[in-house]
């Protein structure tokens, strides 16, 4: 790092120098459209130059409002090119009633449903779409179980880019599909599952017909690191013992891990929380690999779960997730759909927090691991709840008590309510 970079940062340009590297063989990648290594086919990752941050403290960033762009010095995009709708800055709730119920005294929920399009995907998309604009892309696209497309459609609209989204037909929750349509994306309903939709999107990207913004794109996890930076800010850098996340394509748990390694590198923290990844029983390649102590996973052919956002048989960043879990002495386990729905209701009924099923997997996992004795009652635990309840109204309507039919009559109302 030369001085001019430090100076540029002080002048407010706020982009960290960075390189794109192959995560597997270490080769540097210069093709802006590549999302795998041309030599070994490996996953890509971004190496940030954090030198300018080394003399700084978290306090130095706090003049900016909490949210993704507070952490611009950790991001590979110039802040002056930001395509933003004020993502991040989500609440961290101390959930004492929920904690009491499941036997963890210090339990927190990071509520990602409060993002602009209702999921954490906005954190990655503000960085990914800003980068797409920087490199002059005209059409962006993604395959999605729903939230990635909802988010991309919104950020593409904000940036004035065309957008194409590839969705597995009939398997996308109503709120997510509505968002992609509403923000003006071309919505393709593919006769296949998520993994099939992704194959098509990748081929379109190889032909340079779209700029691919799935989480295989290494810029997206960079934005998603911000959830960890915010948790640390909100806990005043008192590192929690454990962070629990649902795992689908596994980019988010990887992003949290990457953020932790960066904070270690600049000396802002001196230990890492145990990263704990939760999957659904019908879609559990990562949890299965963990139970066998394996570094790689075996893809599943027909993943099935009510938690559609983690209904992924062949997780793009599965190997990175396993590294994150092993390196932090974390854990991975799967939960049933019944456990997911029960946890979703518990969050709503005890805390007034509405999340979609995939998000509730983190809470279901916390409960299960407490029961198994993996989580100690004295641990400080943060569950990341990834998406808003309104994303998937149909699942809620089919799992809650039906509305009570009542005559348009005061006496009838009193009778029904017993009041
Ligand atoms: C995308 C998503 C996930 C899974 O995140 P990965 O990074 O794919 O592991 C979980 N929950 C919600 C609500 C999501 O939108
Ligand atoms: Zn390689």
Residue 262's domain is classified under what CATH number? 3.40.50.1100
Please tell me the total count of domains within the chain.
3
Tell which of 165, 190, 212 closes a domain: 212
* Same domain, yes or no: 99 and 51: no
Query: Looking at the DSSP assignment, which residues form a beta bridge with residue 44?
Result: 22
Considering the domain boundaries, does residue 406 fall inside one? no
The whole-angstrom separation of Cα 365 and Cα 378 is 17
Pick the closest to residue 290 from 243, 245, 332 (CA basis): 332
Is residue 77 a part of any domain in this protein? no
Q: Of 212, 232, 256, which residue sits at a domain end?
A: 212
In degrees, to the nearest 5, what angle opens at C-alpha 346 toward C-alphas 344 and 349?
Answer: 110
Give me the pLDDT at residue 195, please. Answer: 87
309 lines ligand 1 (CB under 6 A): yes
Backbone phi, psi, residue 68, to 5°: -55, -45
The residues with which 71 forms a beta bridge, in sequence order, are none
What's the start-to-end Cα distance of the chain, in Å? Answer: 71
CA 163–ligand 2 middle distance (angstroms): 29
One domain, residues 179 and 226: no
Residue 165, ligand 1, Cβ within 6 A: no
In short, whether 147's Cβ falls inside 6 Å of ligand 1 is yes
**Do 105 and 243 belong together in one domain?**
yes
C-alpha 418 – ligand 1 centre gap (Å): 43
The residue whose C-alpha atom lies closest to atom 2 belonging to ligand 1 is 309
Residues 154 and 39 in one domain: no
The span from the CA of 277 to the CA of 16, in Å, is 29
Q: Does the CB atom of residue 250 touch ligand 1 within 6 A?
A: yes
251 in contact with ligand 1, CB cutoff 6 A: yes
For the chain, 419 residues long, give each residue's pLDDT as a single digit of tens.
333 333 434 444 456 689 999 999 999 999 888 899 999 999 999 999 999 999 999 999 999 999 999 999 999 999 999 999 999 999 999 999 999 999 999 999 999 999 999 999 999 999 999 999 999 999 999 999 999 999 999 999 999 999 999 999 988 999 999 999 999 999 999 999 888 999 999 999 999 999 999 989 999 999 999 999 999 999 999 999 999 999 999 999 999 999 999 999 999 999 999 999 999 999 999 999 999 999 999 999 999 999 999 999 999 999 999 999 999 999 999 999 999 999 999 999 999 999 999 999 999 999 999 999 999 999 999 999 999 999 999 999 999 999 999 999 999 999 999 99
295 and 235 fall within a common domain: yes
User: Domain limits at 172?
Assistant: 121-212
Regarding whether 306 and 224 lie in a shared domain, the answer is yes
Is residue 215 lining ligand 1, measured as CB closer than 6 Å? yes
Q: Ligand nearest 22 Cα, by number? A: 2
Please identify, by atom number, the ligand 1 atom nearest to the C-alpha of residue 315. 8
Distance CA 71, CA 334 (A): 33
């Amino acid at each position: 790092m030369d001085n001019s970079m430090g100076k540029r940062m002080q002048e407010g340009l706020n982009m960290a120098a960075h390189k794109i590297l192959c995560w597997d063989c270490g080769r540097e990648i210069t093709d802006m459209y590549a999302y795998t290594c041309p030599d070994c086919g490996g996953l890509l990752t971004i190496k940030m130059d954090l030198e300018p941050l080394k003399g700084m403290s978290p306090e130095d960033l706090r003049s900016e409002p909490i949210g993704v762009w507070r952490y611009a010095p950790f991001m590979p995009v110039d802040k002056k090119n930001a395509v933003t709708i004020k993502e991040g800055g989500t609440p961290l709730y101390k959930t004492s009633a929920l904690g009491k119920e499941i036997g963890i005294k210090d339990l927190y929920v990071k509520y990602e449903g409060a993002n602009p399009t209702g999921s954490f995907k906005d954190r990655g998309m503000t960085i990914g779409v800003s980068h797409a604009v920087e490199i002059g892309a005209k059409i962006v696209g993604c395959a999605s179980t729903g939230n990635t497309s909802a988010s991309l459609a919104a950020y593409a609209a904000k940036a004035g880019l065309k957008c194409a989204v590839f969705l597995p037909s009939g398997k996308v929750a109503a709120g997510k599909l509505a968002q992609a349509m509403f923000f003006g994306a071309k919505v393709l309903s593919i006769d296949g599952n998520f993994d099939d939709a992704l194959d098509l999107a990748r081929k379109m990207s190889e032909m340079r017909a779209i700029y691919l913004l799935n989480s295989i794109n290494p810029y997206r996890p960079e934005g998603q690191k911000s959830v960890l930076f915010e948790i640390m800010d909100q806990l005043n850098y008192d590192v929690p013992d454990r962070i629990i996340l649902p795992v689908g394509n596994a980019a988010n748990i990887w992003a949290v891990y990457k953020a932790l390694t960066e904070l270690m590198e600049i000396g802002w923290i001196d230990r890492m929380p145990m990263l704990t990844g939760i999957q659904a029983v019908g879609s559990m390649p990562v949890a299965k690999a963990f139970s066998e102590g394996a570094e790689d996973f075996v893809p599943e052919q027909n993943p099935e779960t009510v938690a559609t956002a983690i209904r992924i048989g062949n997780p793009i960043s599965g190997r990175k997730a396993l590294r994150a879990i092993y390196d932090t002495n974390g854990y991975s386990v799967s939960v049933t759909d019944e456990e997911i729905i029960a946890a979703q209701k518990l969050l709503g009924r005890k805390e007034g927090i509405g999340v979609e099923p995939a998000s509730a997997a983190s809470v279901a996992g916390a409960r299960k691991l407490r029961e198994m004795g993996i989580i100690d009652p004295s641990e400080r635990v943060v569950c990341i709840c990834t998406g808003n309840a309104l994303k998937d109204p149909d699942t809620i309507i089919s799992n809650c008590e039906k509305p009570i039919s009542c005559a348009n009559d005061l006496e009838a109302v009193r009778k029904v309510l017993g009041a």
